[in-house]
A and B are shown apart, each in its own frame.
Chain A
């Protein structure tokens, strides 16, 4: 016990919030200074699974760095794959065939649903409800099976290539996606009846952990955290890439800024992802999935390049500096949860510890992506 707590008339004490074992998921430590059940200060301590991806980006070729993209945010790896291949295509001026663009959007959005489903299960688990996790995992399992059939991987995907995709998708995959969407649509009311309308959940989330739009701006928070605070910002809409401008979908925005708003944004996004996939499957053209002429050795013109995409957790962007060689001179990876978590220290001041956990869960943290 710290000397502070032992001194007279001072009930403050320090607590470390784990887990910190490298084999567990979500290796984050929070140094808490508590006054009874209330948080005086909560400082996240990072770096437990830091792997220095940015240095790896500098000592391997542009193509060799591609598999690293599946290992940042392992829950929505395809968004990161997409961001990186689009950046390199921008640098090298590679045109992507239309069919490949559609496949990319379909698989990325499937991945986004699986990421949101896992977050949903894990978040409710954090709050003490065990069962919803199992329901969410049965649905997520279907997505993993579908994506495995095209990409060959279940988690750390490396499916896109500069100029297209590694292989074409079969009609069975597309019809499997449609069948999955039909199934998930029928199950969404169940999720809402079981969890969203649950009075205990609502009392744990409503008016808990409010985050204002101004705080999001000062900390650079993006994604569902920003949209839960009433800001209509989605890179897919505001800075369109790939074929998103051709698809009709809404950006869910909630103005309350509390944990419930962030919960609702993600639940609504699942519905929008399903809309996007259905339209993309209806429109997908036939044709090649790889550009004809992709240089074997990519040597972009010297200079800075920047590209951002909307990952499941917010804006993922890469700043690459090229010096004309076949390796990057500098590869900066801007991960969304790094900024999203940075507001936790300020937002959690004076909160009950149990409520702060609800706030932290609603930020949807993936630690390998924060630590990189």
Chain B
């Protein structure tokens, strides 16, 4: 497996449709000292939701090598990229960022054919319109993981062959890992 290729392809995918922003980055650098002078005012502001793009993160600290955020309609292509590299799907899960009014869908991929390589692909979708395409066509094992994520977060995986409750009772009407879940 060629790690560099996977990283490059994911990077290209994540930056698709995104404007190149070198100037903005420069402005941000200049702005930084000012904000420090401002002191607490900057700290009080809530952190911005992460923008799409690729990060090579500190493996020793975070436990993954590559962390990429893509648009919701790109998750299938991201799955195809890691599938072509011979990687396997470890898990699909969600995170409820209720303050940003967004849900995050997280895909964990690992390479089992040799040297350890872990990739996490994530996509953010609006909380009130939680739709994302299924990746069961690429990884058959995603079937149950996506059903579990549907159980816990109510995320609709479009095109899933059998989007029914898996772990929760078939007649339940709640999604327990949503942060506004108050018990049943």
Contact = CB atoms under 8 A, between A and B. Distances in A.
Interface of A: 46-47, 50, 52, 54-55, 58, 87, 90, 216-222, 226, 231, 233, 238-239, 303-308, 315, 317, 319, 321, 329-330, 332, 334, 338-339, 342-343, 346, 371-372
Contacts of B62: 303-306
B125 to A, nearest CB: 16
Nearest to A338: B144
Contacts of B64: 304, 306
B150 to A, nearest CB: 13
Contact of A233 (B61, B91, B112, B152): B112
A332 B166 contact: no
Given A218-B140, A332-B93, A343-B141, A231 B113 contact: yes
A226 B141 CA distance: 14
Given A54-B152, A319-B106, A321-B95, 20 more contacts: A50-B167, A54-B177, A218-B139, A219-B139, A220-B139, A231-B113, A304-B62, A306-B63, A306-B108, A306-B120, A307-B63, A308-B63, A317-B108, A330-B93, A332-B91, A339-B90, A339-B141, A342-B143, A342-B144, A343-B140
A372 B152 CA distance: 12
Nearest 8 CB-CB pairings of A with B: A306-B63, A219-B141, A239-B116, A233-B112, A47-B167, A334-B91, A220-B141, A50-B167
B165 A317 contact: no
Q: Interface centre among B88, B106, B152, by most A CB within 10 Å?
A: B88
B169 A47 contact: yes
Identify which of A54, A90, A306 gathers the most chain B CB atoms within 10 Å of its CB. Answer: A306
B177 A55 contact: yes
Nearest to B166: A46
Interface residues of B, number: 38
Interface string B12-48: 0000000000000000000000000000000000000
Interface centre among B60, B152, B165, B167 (most CB of A within 10 A): B167
Question: Which residue of A226, A304, A305, A343 has the most chain B CB atoms within 10 A of its CB atom?
Answer: A304
Contact of A372 (B87, B118, B141, B167): B167
B89 interface: yes
Contacts, number: 102
Q: Chain A contact residues: over half helix, strand or loop, or mixed? A: mixed
Given A305-B62, A306-B118, A55 B141 contact: no
Contacts of B1: none
Contacts of A308: 63, 90, 110
A317 B143 CA distance: 19
A304 B168 contact: no
A114 B36 CA distance: 58
Interface of B: 60-64, 67, 86-91, 93, 95-96, 106, 108, 110, 112-116, 118, 120, 139-141, 143-144, 152, 165-169, 176-177
Nearest to A301: B61
Contacts of B139: 218-220
15 contacts: A47-B166, A50-B168, A58-B177, A220-B139, A231-B112, A233-B112, A239-B116, A306-B118, A308-B90, A319-B91, A330-B177, A332-B91, A332-B106, A339-B144, A371-B167
Contacts of B141: 218-221, 339, 342-343
Contact of B120 (A304, A315, A338, A342): A304
A233 B90 contact: no
B86 to A, nearest CB: 7
A264 to B, nearest CB: 20
Contact of A305 (B63, B110, B143): B63
A220 B113 contact: no
Contacts of B176: 52, 55
Most buried by B among A54, A87, A217, A231: A217
Given A90-B63, A317-B90, A330 B95 contact: yes
Contacts of B143: 342
A305 B140 CA distance: 26
A218 B80 CA distance: 12
A231 B110 CA distance: 14
Nearest to B96: A330
B95 A233 contact: no
Contacts of B114: 238
Contacts of B112: 217, 222, 226, 231, 233, 238
